[in-house]
């Protein structure tokens, strides 16, 4: 979407742009992140990892509101969230 002018509240209410990264070597396909993502950013894909686990994939990265729950619930420490080039856990603390 292209904006013809910058909204007045752009600086403090714009959604943070977050990148969700899933480590393909660590993901074991438990499906926790896909099930409990509040914005349906993640879903279970059909691709298999090198160890034969069904991988979770980022379906729609633009929807991410950077709550960080996927990072927290991943049993394999495979999900990492970065907002504006900062790792999510750093911002929160």
Partner 1 sequence: MPDHEGNGHSIIAKYLRQDRLPHIWCPACGIGPALNCFLRAIDKSGLDPDKISVISGIGCSGRVAGYVKLDSFHTTHGRAIPFATGLKLANPELKAVVFSGDGDLAAIGGNHLIHAARRNVDMTVICINNFNYGMTGGQVGPTAPYDVRTSTTPYGNFESPFNLPLLLYASGATYIARWTVLHLHQLENTMTEALLKPGFSFVEVISPCPAVYGRMNKEPEGLDSLKSYEKRSIIKNGADPKDVGITQNGPIIVGKFIDVDRPTLHTNLAVVAERAKKQVKNS
Residues that bind partner 1 (CB under 8 A): 19, 21, 25-26, 28-32, 35-36, 53, 69, 71-77, 80-82, 85-90, 93
Q: How far is the CB of 20 from partner 1 (least distance, A)?
A: 9
Cβ distance 33 to 79 under 8 Å? yes
Nearer to partner 1 by Cβ, of 14 and 87: the residue is 87
Q: Which is nearer to partner 1, 29 or 59 (CB)?
A: 29
Q: Shortest Cβ distance from residue 39 to partner 1 (Å)? A: 16
Q: Does residue 35 sit in helix, strand or coil?
A: helix
- Break the chain down into helix, strand, coil percent, rounded to 5: 25, 25, 50
Q: Choose between 9 and 18: whose C-beta lies nearer to partner 1.
A: 18
| Contact call for residues 87 and 80 (beta carbons, < 8 A) | yes
């Amino acid at each position: 979407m292209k904006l013809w002018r910058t909204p007045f509240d752009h600086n403090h209410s714009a959604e943070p742009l977050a990148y969700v990264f899933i480590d393909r070597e660590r993901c074991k396909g438990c499906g926790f992140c896909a099930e409990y993502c509040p914005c349906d950013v993640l879903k279970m894909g059909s691709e298999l990892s090198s160890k034969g686990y069904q991988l979770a994939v980022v379906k729609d990265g633009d929807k991410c509101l950077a709550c960080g729950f996927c990072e927290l619930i991943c049993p394999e420490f495979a999900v990492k969230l970065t907002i504006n080039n900062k790792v999510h856990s750093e911002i929160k603390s």
